[in-house]
Amino acid sequence: MSNVGFRIYTRVNRPAKELVEQFKGLPAANIADEMNRLGCVDARIKPLNSTPLLGTAFTVKARAGDNLMFHKAIDMAQPGDVIVVDGQGDLTNSFTGEIMMRQVLKRGLAGVVVDGAVRDVDALRELPLAIYAAGATPKGPYKNGPGEINVPVSCGGIVINPGDILVGDGDGIVVISPPDAAVVAQKAKTKQKKEQETFRQIEAGNLDRSAYSDEAFKKMGCEFIDDYWK
């Protein structure tokens, strides 16, 4: 363990599949709300297509503009893993493209999240694979290393540990630590049901809007002026 910055941890402490599956179909927003609105990859990292993301983190700390360790991760990761690449947000060179993503798909991996740029995006938009990235450039990656695999990484402003559960949709990605997962999934499910009930009330025209009544606003000190703005 002496070659800091160029080393590969071969094992990942993955949570049970049943635990991960509890997040299936849950909106990232409902999960994030039940984590007090923290625990999300920031909005710089955007989905390239509408394939939902659900899996566990297989992390790569890459040298800016270099994908040697990313290539290695594709061969090491297991079905259900999401390759998370800490590219330090660097957009100078792409970290990946269509060839690598087709390989990821072939291996049955659950998706890819890159804090950096990718290329071949027109093709990536059409692949049935969840891919998130911070940008795009036709400039290709170098393949020299160094880098690390399966260490804690920084991605979109938060720490992602190997084995963390990732859930992503059109809004972005939320990261759940496995010891918190059962409680968070349960609360998010309840939240989702509550929102569905709210949608029904909107349709029926009986949603309680009293929190937004004139009286409620006056109580907050808001002034209503019965005139036009001049």
Of Mg ion, ligand OAA, none, which one sits near residue 96, judging by CB under 5 to 8 A according to partner kind? ligand OAA
Q: Does 90 bind ligand OAA (CB under 6 A)?
A: no
**What is the spatial distance between Cα 183 and Cα 177, in angstroms, rounded to a whole number?**
11
Q: Which of 15, 97 has the CB closer to ligand OAA?
A: 97
Q: Does 67 bind ligand OAA (CB under 6 A)?
A: yes
Which residues would be at the binding site for Mg ion (CB under 5 A)?
Answer: 97-98, 120
List % helix, strand, coil for the chain (3-state, nearest 5). 30, 30, 40
> Are 112 and 59 spatial neighbours (Cβ–Cβ below 8 Å)?
no
Reference 124, options 222, 115, 135, 64; nearest CA is 135
Vertex 105: Cα angle to 53 and 78 (nearest 5)? 75
Of Mg ion, ligand OAA, none, which one sits near residue 33, judging by CB under 5 to 8 A according to partner kind? none
Among 73, 82, 100, 167, binds ligand OAA (CB under 6 A): 100
Of Mg ion, ligand OAA, none, which one sits near residue 30, judging by CB under 5 to 8 A according to partner kind? none
Q: Does 4 bind ligand OAA (CB under 6 A)?
A: no
**What is the spatial distance between Cα 11 and Cα 51, in angstroms, rounded to a whole number?**
27
CB of 164 to ligand OAA, least distance (A): 25
Is 76 annotated to bind ligand? no
Reference 173, options 102, 83, 74; nearest CA is 83
Q: Does 120 bind ligand OAA (CB under 6 A)?
A: yes
Is 120 annotated to bind ligand? yes
Q: Which of 97, 162 has the CB closer to ligand OAA?
A: 97
Q: Does 140 bind ligand OAA (CB under 6 A)?
A: yes
Is 100 annotated to bind ligand? yes
Considering only the stretches 3-11, 92-100, 148-156, 200-208, report the one whose residues sit in contact with ligand OAA under the rule CB under 6 A: 92-100
**What is the spatial distance between Cα 15 and Cα 18, in angstroms, rounded to a whole number?**
8
146 phi and psi angles, rounded to 5 deg: -75, -155
107 phi and psi angles, rounded to 5 deg: -80, -5
Q: Which of 100, 155 has the CB closer to Mg ion?
A: 100
Show the tokens assigned to 122.
């027109």
**What is the spatial distance between Cα 131 and Cα 98, in angstroms, rounded to a whole number?**
11
Q: Which of 51, 177 has the CB closer to ligand OAA?
A: 51
Considering only the stretches 52-60, 98-106, 128-136, 199-207, report the one whose residues sit in contact with ligand OAA under the rule CB under 6 A: 98-106
Show the tokens assigned to 156.
């979109």
Could you tell me which residues are annotated as the binding site for substrate? Answer: 97-100, 119
